Amino acid sequence: MADSIYTKRNPGQGGETHQTASGDDQPPLTTQQGVVVADDQNTLRVGDRGPALLEDFHFREKIFHFDHERIPERVVHARGYGVHGRFTLAKSLAKYTTARVLSDVGAETPMFVRFSTVAGNKGSSDLARDVRGFAAKFYTPEGNWDIVGNNIPVFFIQDAIKFPDLIHAAKPAPDREFPQAQTAHDNFWDFISLTPESMHMVMWTMSDRAIPRSFRFMEGFGVHSFRLINAKGESTFVKFHFKPRLGLQSVMWNEAVKINGADPDFHRRDLWDAIEAGAPPEWDFGVQLFDEAFAEQFEFDILDPTKIIPEEQVPVEIIGSFVLDGLVDNFFAETEQVAFCTQNVVPGIGFSNDPLLQGRNFSYLDTQLKRLGSPNFTHIPINAPRCPIHNHQQDGHMAMRNPRGRVNYEPNSWDAGPREDPKTGYRHFAAAEGGPKVQLRPESFADHYSQARQFFVSQTPIEQKHIGDALVFELSKCQRPEIRERMVAHLLNIHPDLAQTVAAGLGLPRLPKAHDPAIAPLTDLPPSDALSIAKNGPQRFEGRKLGILVSDGADAAIVDALIAAVGAEKGVYEIIAPHITGATLSDGALRVAHQKVDGGPSVLYDAVAIVLSEAGAALLARDKTAKDFVSDAFAHCKFIAYTDPAKALFEKAGIAPEDMDEGFIPLAEKGDAKTFLKACAPLRVWDRELKVDLDAAAPPPA
């Protein structure tokens, strides 16, 4: 706009209807056909109060486009957030694969990654307890390669034929259309309790993995066993891993519920802000490589998508890294229209016979036609490969390119058009297959409890408690008691302590009989540290956020020292004050607030500092939201730094002096700020939870 002056327009002979900005440095508004629009405020009509005219082509085009601007949202993974990035290979896998993206050391490959929840609709909240999609599209010089992964390495079902049933059970009930983005209801747990193969995945989804702190602190997995194929046609099995350089971090369930109320866009805002601030997240890209000999002797079937291969048995070999530093220009054009397909592989990467993967290969392509309306969805820029495209496919809805010239078939004798290339073209692995046509589940898929137990025993005591709490919460929402008992019967095959905890939390009068397993579970699988979030946390404040609650007259030197200490740790901070204008500190200078106290609850921060004057503490001690700020931080086991006057607020919030454990760090001088930030490295003061949670001491059933 050339200036800020607004002028009034009088369309035709009518009165003033609107204001429009003046200035001639912006392009004129046009129709989709490029015709400049003279009036975008009024439809063409007969007289000033007469009927509208059909010949108003601009109105018709504008309304037509508006009426059709929504496409069907994804049935699953509807709520997503995408960003651009780039992958750099550090170690060649040329011994195992011809894929250049995994062979050309130092080469940078553009990427697009979409994070998502599974069960909720597009308008649901970010912090639902759910699996998170972690889908990556690599725009390689040999074509697009998609890893359509999750933040959990296993899945609920073993065969894709059960996927519609799983999702129908998890989604809102068809008669009432609720609950949204939740599995805490009868339909889901009825299905799960009748599907023993889901038990391993249940352990993951009831763990803190299902409520991550942010996308930036989240692992990614390709889930299935794939194949790498080398120049000799030899195959090596591979599982893909994305490991965040910031480490793993989650939130507590009560905290997640409150974050959803305070900021339902918490995860997407966090990612946007990190990239905008010049601190884009990075992941190490790793592979687990194993051969047929290992597959034969491994305790479980490597084709079973409900199983992992523990990293202690096959270490993850880091071969590169990727950074996500590119925000989208338009959410719909990129994040909403991006189409991931598990079948999208490049020469040198192939599939195993994992039955869930085989089904996904069929389903995803079919899904894109429904959502994007045309087999030409690869013509959309976000889906278009960044290498030459030559084929004889033509026409169809919204075709952006078609063959030129006379020839649109192959073979032909015109010596024209693209031909197949046996030397560089994709070759499937020549696996020897045989056997009768059958519909059955192999016996090697029949152990449903051993790895579920291994996951549980790999957790720290507080993580085990959280799994029990989650199961109690979810099952307590089931109205039918037999569903609860059925699940406890399964839990007895996983771990008796977990079964007793859940039974006690649900108030069952007695433990049910354990469910009869198809195969007796193994009880001697060793714990795996890689399965615990607490054992793989960041151990530093980098990438995390400190909330500093201040009042007028608060110690300016302490506040400035906290800000400096956060910066030194590569974290971020926000000032919270009684008023959004901020607070005038002890040096007489105004510190502008990022949040007003009732708009910046402590659930939005990884740790908090309470820096108050005596008058400020007395003022905030009368405010319910200020008391909630500190009581929630305490209940959520966060580290709390404080100046001495803040004790008055603590007392009013119900925190007695004897409750102030090692997670309370006094701020008496500037140097204490660094001490506080170093103390925050373990993420939370987990011992505190055992003192404030009623369920921590629930008696077992008889």
The helix (H) or strand (E) run that includes residue 228 is strand 226-229
The helix (H) or strand (E) run that includes residue 456 is helix 450-457
Q: How far is the C-alpha of 647 from the C-alpha of 652, rounded, in Å? A: 9
Q: How far is the C-alpha of 672 from the C-alpha of 677, rounded, in Å? A: 9
From 192, 245, 190, 238, select the one nearest 218 (Cα to Cα): 245
Asked about 68 being catalytic, the answer comes back as no
Alpha carbon 626 to chain centroid, angstroms: 31
From 270, 327, 282, select the one nearest 574 (Cα to Cα): 270
Tokens of 658: 């004897």
Classify burial at 3, counting beta carbons within 10 Å of its beta carbon; exposed 0-12, middle 13-18, buried 19 or more. Answer: exposed
- The DSSP-derived string for 608-630 is EEEE--HHHHHHHTT-HHHHHHH
- The DSSP-derived string for 419-448 is ---TTTS-----------------GGG---
Query: Per the residue annotation, which of 84, 144, 150, 636 is the catalytic one?
Result: 150
Asked about 150 being catalytic, the answer comes back as yes
Q: How far is the C-alpha of 369 from the C-alpha of 395, rounded, in Å? A: 15
Q: Are 102 and 89 in contact (CB under 8 A)?
A: yes
Q: Distance of CA 172 to CAs 77, 123, 261, 472, Å? A: 15, 14, 20, 20
Q: Are 224 and 146 in contact (CB under 8 A)?
A: no
Give long-range contacts, CB 8 A cutoff, 24+ apart: 560-568: 560/670, 561/670, 561/671, 561/672, 561/673, 561/674, 562/609, 562/611, 562/641, 562/667, 562/673, 562/676, 564/673, 565/673, 565/674, 565/676, 565/677, 566/541, 566/677, 568/674, 568/677
Tokens of 161: 């034929």
Query: Per the residue annotation, which of 58, 77, 241, 515 is the catalytic one?
Result: 77
The helix (H) or strand (E) run that includes residue 54 is none
Tokens of 351: 């599939």
Residue whose tokens read 């969805």: 377
- The DSSP-derived string for 314-334 is SPPEEEEEEEEEE--S-HIII
From 347, 309, 91, 319, select the one nearest 228 (Cα to Cα): 347
| DSSP designation for 52 | B
Angle at CA 658, nearest 5°, toward 657 and 659?
90
Which residues are catalytic, by number? Answer: 77, 150
